[in-house]
Amino acid sequence: MILNPMELPFKNRVKSPTQARRVLPFKPIPTSGMADTFQSLLNQPAQNPDRLLYIHIPFCSKTCSFCIYNRNESTPANTVKLYVDTIIDQIYSVGKTPWVQSAPFKAVYFGGGTPTAIPAQDLVSIIKAVKETIPLTNDCEISVESTISAVTPQLLNSITKAGVNRISLGVQTFDNGIRRSLGRESDNETIARKIGLISQSGILNICIDLIYGLPNQTIESWTNDLNMLQQLPITGCSVYPLVSKPNGHGISTELDIEKEYDFFASAHHTLSNMDGWQQFTPVQYGHSVNGKAIYVSGHGQSADLLALGAGAGGRINLYTYLANPNIEEFLANKANFYQTPKVVLSIDKEYHNLRKVFNLSEGLSLNNQHNQDLRMLFNNEFDFLNKNGLATEIGASVQLTQKGCFWAANISELFAKRIAVLLQGNEPRT
């Protein structure tokens, strides 16, 4: 598990695919043309049958020191109710469009924030609107993020009846001392009891997040986290490094790259070798039957993503967008998704084919037989990956190695830089 610093393939580790893709040559759509752009997109059938729905609930009962996502604490109840009503109005409005109706969605994901921070009946009302309006596959994954403290028998009864079949829990660590330092309310005994309640409720796809690089965390405490996971009815796990907030607030630690790799490698070895488990993405592991992560896997690859809510980010065809996180501005536009303030970016149509290369760095493999053109266009990049032990040829596909999974976001950045060169016509490259 030792990573030789003299053999590092990159100078610094990129920790997020979103950060890695920032070099792509997207061009901003003027605000004046935003509504027309989205109306044109949604008034025609989908070009990509691989589709996901994301609904952002930006409310939390408290702010966590390690969280880098868009959320609001102590929001008045009337604002929460107005937000829920606006989301539902937008679902019914957008759900009627030819783009939405042209193919079923394979996963619905409620993220935040903390979706279970709002009243259970409101969450159920949103799910009802989705199921009444938006076509879903027969085995559609409906996933809800939650804190441990929000899990109650009443909540579980409501959301299971509504159709939720997967829950994602922000555990981060089972270590009680570290949890207290993070301001987490539940101890590990409570976590175990709540996970038992979820399993008994009929939700069999139970995923937790674990974070390495937390203050006072050791490889011994990390090993204990992985051991406790194996003792509980958990069927999936996302493993993330601690990412510092851009503004410098919150918690941060300075792990050298060798120690970071030790944490990652320990988790990778444990989770990959659990009975019936497999790896779905560089950071996502789960049981092959009960622990699938359809949304997470699709989000990391080429699926279109319809995202609703203040601060929600999505992508449709050749456009990517990020809604303004300001709740008041979101509420002001009510059912009009087209007018919801957002940043909209577009990219060259050739990106459609080129983006498949991310199936390696944000999935786990790329089929050589069906992507010979990509192999030629990214020949130098693939040679670099093979030379540095980041990828290997297995049969008709290229697959990430354990080391490649650790550096996956850097590999995405490597591909993104090459795509930028190809789309901007700067050949030959040096």
Q: What is the pLDDT of residues 120-157, one digit of tens each?
A: 999 999 999 999 999 999 999 999 999 999 999 999 99
- Note whether 237 and 377 are same-domain residues: no
Per-residue pLDDT for 15 more than 60?
A: yes
Quote the CA–CA distance of 258 and 186 in Å, as a whole number. 31
- The answer to whether position 10 is within a domain reads no
Same domain, 290 and 391: no
The side-by-side arrangement of strands in the sheet containing 391-394 is: 365-367, 397-400, 391-394
Clarify whether residues 33 and 134 are in a common domain: yes
Mean pLDDT of 305-320: 94
Domain count, the chain: 2
Give the residue with greater pLDDT, 382 vs 184. Answer: 382
Domain that includes residue 374, residue range: 352-424
Q: What is the CATH number for 396?
A: 1.10.10.920
Q: 319 in a domain, yes or no?
A: no
Among residues 299, 325, 341, the one where a domain terminates is: 299
Note the pTM of the prediction, 2 decimals: 0.91
Residues 281 and 159 placed together within one structural domain of the fold: yes
Do 295 and 357 have their domain in common?
Answer: no
Task: Please give the mean pLDDT across all residues of the chain.
Answer: 90
**How, if at all, do strands 27-28 and 342-346 pair?**
antiparallel
Q: Cα dist. 296→120, 124, 280 in Å?
A: 24, 22, 9
Question: In this predicted structure, what is the pLDDT of residue 249?
Answer: 45
- Of 104-108, 251-255, 348-352, 414-418, the poorest mean pLDDT is in 251-255
Residues 109 and 237 in one domain: yes
Q: Are residues 252 and 387 in the same domain?
A: no
Query: Encoding tokens for residue 121?
Result: 């009946």
Answer whether residue 429 is part of any domain. Answer: no
Are 135 and 68 contained in the same domain?
yes
pLDDT value of position 428: 42
- Region for 37 from its dihedrals, namely left if φ exceeds 0, alpha if ψ lies in -120 to 50, beta otherwise: alpha
* 377 and 238, same domain (yes or no): no
Residue 254 has, within 13 A of its CA and on its CB side, a CA count of: 0
Q: What whole-number distance in Å separates Cα of residue 395 and Cα of residue 237?
A: 28
**375 Rama class: left (phi>0) / alpha (psi -120 to 50) / beta:** alpha
**Pick from 146, 172, 144: which is nearest to 160 by CA?**
144
**How far is residue 68 from each of residues 134, 149, 207, measured CA to CA in Å?**
30, 20, 20
What percent of the chain clears pLDDT 90, i.e. is strictly above it?
A: 76
> Does the residue 378 lie in any domain?
yes
* 3 band by pLDDT with thresholds 50, 70 and 90: low
Q: Which residues contact 426 (CB under 8 A, 6 or more apart)?
A: none
More confident residue, 395 or 174: 174
Q: Are residues 248 and 151 in the same domain?
A: yes
Q: Please, are residues 210 and 239 in contact by the beta-carbon 8 Å criterion?
A: yes
